[in-house]
């Protein structure tokens, strides 16, 4: 019972951080692009910046069928990726002279690459744990 409660708490915390991170990321992106007059470009940037958060939100739904350890790893990954994105979008990790828009292109790309590795590995891990438990 205590394990389920701590897993549920970790899930709730990771979801709150993920949703807040998505909102803050969107706000930082809109603030950075405030002088841009192209509505289409803002829409494309919005979709690109929010896409990793949407995928992680979807993974959270799919992960409900996973074993405990892979779910715990997913929730931790959600926290790390969200906080890393926010740190990057804030400009704290940008080298001097970097164009602000570059961060909003590169961070989602790196996020997608990490997601493409972590989610399938966690799903596979869960399947193996399920088979060994039965």
pLDDT score recorded for residue 52 = 98
Distances (CA, A) of 26 to 37, 47, 76, 77, 108: 17, 10, 22, 20, 12
Give the model's confidence band at 98: pLDDT under 50 very low, under 70 low, under 90 confident, else very high.
confident
- pTM of the predicted structure, to 2 decimals: 0.90
For residues 19-34, give the mean pLDDT.
Answer: 96
- The secondary structure of residue 64, as a DSSP letter, is G
For the purposes of burial, counting CB atoms within 10 Å of the CB of 47, is it exposed (0-12), middle (13-18) or buried (19 or more)? Answer: exposed
For residues 17-44, give the mean pLDDT.
Answer: 95
Nearest Cα to Cα of residue 74 among 51, 55, 89, 87: 55
pLDDT score recorded for residue 72 = 94
Which position has the higher pLDDT, 130 or 80? 80
């Amino acid at each position: 019972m205590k394990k389920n409660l701590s897993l549920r708490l970790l899930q709730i915390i990771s979801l709150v951080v993920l949703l807040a991170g998505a909102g803050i990321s969107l706000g930082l992106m809109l603030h950075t692009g405030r002088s841009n007059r192209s509505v289409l470009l803002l829409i494309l940037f919005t979709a690109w910046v929010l896409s990793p958060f949407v995928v992680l939100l979807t993974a959270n739904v799919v992960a409900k069928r996973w074993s405990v350890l892979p779910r715990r790893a997913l929730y931790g990954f959600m926290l790390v990726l969200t906080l890393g994105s926010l740190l990057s979008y804030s400009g704290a990790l940008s080298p001097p002279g970097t164009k602000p828009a570059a961060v909003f292109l590169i961070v989602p790309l790196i996020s997608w690459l990490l997601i493409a590795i972590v989610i399938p590995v966690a799903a596979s891990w869960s399947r193996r744990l399920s088979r060994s438990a039965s």
